[in-house]
Structure 1
């Protein structure tokens, strides 16, 4: 993919004028947090071609090189008791919907917030709740590896990171992915009844042995509130509503 600038008018035409488009930022989540604190309306979005300090879970950085990925964050002001897990799961399903619309195959969700293709991570989601004097809002961020970076992935993630497509001649691939995700996210949030079934169907961990808190367990179920059910070798059952699990091949 050539390093063309993102087409701002194309994105805004489909996502609204509250879509703010940048060539590079530190973190789209941090930008949208600032917008939220200033009273920006729901669905305000920051889209970037690159991030210098993209964020993942915990203190991790999300590798966000220019030209080969798309990185965006959306401001949500949910009504009622919509929880971060619900929003993260909805975003994961919407991301797979968008990727499949653009022709990607072999996709699956790793609980709770990663999208995999053929055994490699191609996207990560980070939902953050913020409370200030104006109330409570959520910043939903996603980074998608559309194509392999020319210099390759950094050594520390090269064994597990992947890209959605091996190559593409599509001039507006990043813009089309942004628009498709925005569309499917809105659709899924407006009609949440089918999210659990869609998420569970795409969850590739069911039946697999994983590592959590230093021990091995088998993923035996996903509950409607998106808690993951782990069964240990001694028969003990654990219910996870947060935290991280690892595939054993990722630990090698």
Structure 2
């Protein structure tokens, strides 16, 4: 770890407290002049640092650059996020994570990007991922549970993301089955899980959970059509959220909720947030478009729908897409 990286990590860990140049020099094993040069270099890269004579240095809360050094101090996980790679630009964090999986990357490996050029949505759609506006991350998980639990990974991740967002903004976050988060009727987050199955052993080999959250004001980053359906945390609440802190909290919550899949206890929280229940909905199931009343979420995180004939159907995330409230 070089001086700049160590300095950034140390300042992040200090929170709102100043650290003197002398204390930093001693901790890092360098001269005070080297500390000063490292501070100036970080400022040139865009980091916001306050320097006060006789008090020292403090990392400001308005930093909007994603950095492992600014995320790691707020992690309280055992595995998720402990092997982390942060990029300026990638095509897709899911793609990078899947590449790392082939290299035998460990459970919990996390890929985070400031910008995606080909962010993935469901059924081949693009997830618009402009620089400085959101958090786009993917987590590699190697669970030990039976294949039958695999469909619940996305639902558990949705609960984790909703709780993480609410930690910072206080506003209610709803879940549109199965993979979208909403505030005030507009989408702020999408989740895409890509799994590799071990059919012979009836086990899930691994899964890559991709999560994209719109954090800062979208401005002209979204076209007029997208703005009709999508928004950001700041646009809805007026709050400027620290993206690094949100990344850490998301990973913290994700580890908790992944641990609740086998006993299905997370479904209580999922059902509290799910927004289709009680509404007449339409869903594309294969080549068929169905209309029915959403009755609730089943024990496998399936959507239970009552058809006009009275027939009860359970839709799995694998078979249904474009599930929405009928207007």
Q: CA deviation at 1:215?
A: 3.2
- Seen in structure 2, the aligned counterparts of structure 1 residues 198 and 237 have a Cα distance that, compared at 3 Å, is same
Tell me which residue corresponds to 2:181: 115
User: TM-score scaled by structure 1?
Assistant: 0.90
Tell me which residue corresponds to 2:91: 26
Q: CA deviation at 1:169?
A: 4.3
CA distance in 1 between partners of 2:206 and 2:123 (Å): 20
Report whether the alignment pairs 1:232 with 2:307. Answer: yes
- Seen in structure 2, the aligned counterparts of structure 1 residues 53 and 18 have a Cα distance that, compared at 3 Å, is same
Q: Secondary structure at the match of 2:313?
A: strand
Contact 1:84/1:128 (<8 A) preserved: no
Q: Secondary structure at the match of 2:187?
A: strand
Q: Please, which of 192, 195, 199 is the counterpart of residue 270 of structure 2?
A: 199
- Seen in structure 2, the aligned counterparts of structure 1 residues 148 and 169 have a Cα distance that, compared at 3 Å, is closer
Q: Please, which of 181, 188, 200 is the counterpart of residue 257 of structure 2?
A: 188
- Seen in structure 2, the aligned counterparts of structure 1 residues 198 and 169 have a Cα distance that, compared at 3 Å, is closer
Deviations 1:198-228 (A, max 9, x none): 1011101110111123332110121111111
CA distance in 2 between partners of 1:246 and 1:239 (Å): 15
- Give RMSD over aligned pairs: 2.1
Tell me which residue corresponds to 2:283: 212
Contact 2:193/2:208 (<8 A) preserved: yes
Gap regions ≥5 residues in structure 2: 1-61, 76-80, 199-203
Q: CA deviation at 1:49?
A: 0.9
Once structures 1 and 2 are overlaid, which stretch shifts more, 227-236 or 25-34? 227-236
Tell me which residue corresponds to 1:55: 120
User: TM-score scaled by structure 2?
Assistant: 0.70
CA distance in 2 between partners of 1:86 and 1:20 (Å): 26
CA distance in 2 between partners of 1:215 and 1:17 (Å): 43
Deviations 1:162-186 (A, max 9, x none): 111224445xx11111100100111
Tell me which residue corresponds to 2:51: none
Q: How many residues align?
A: 245
Report whether the alignment pairs 1:12 with 2:77. Answer: no
CA distance in 1 between partners of 2:151 and 2:160 (Å): 14
Once structures 1 and 2 are overlaid, which stretch shifts more, 30-39 or 239-248? 239-248
Once structures 1 and 2 are overlaid, which stretch shifts more, 69-78 or 214-223? 214-223
Structure with the larger RCO, 1 or 2 (CA within 8 Å, 6+ apart) = 1
Tell me which residue corresponds to 2:316: 241
Report whether the alignment pairs 1:80 with 2:140. Answer: no
Contact 1:116/1:122 (<8 A) preserved: yes
Q: Secondary structure at the match of 1:165?
A: helix
Gap regions ≥5 residues in structure 1: none
Report whether the alignment pairs 1:175 with 2:244. Answer: yes
Q: Which has the higher helix share?
A: 2
Q: CA deviation at 1:158?
A: 2.0
- Seen in structure 2, the aligned counterparts of structure 1 residues 94 and 150 have a Cα distance that, compared at 3 Å, is same
Once structures 1 and 2 are overlaid, which stretch shifts more, 112-121 or 82-91? 82-91
CA distance in 2 between partners of 1:146 and 1:8 (Å): 18
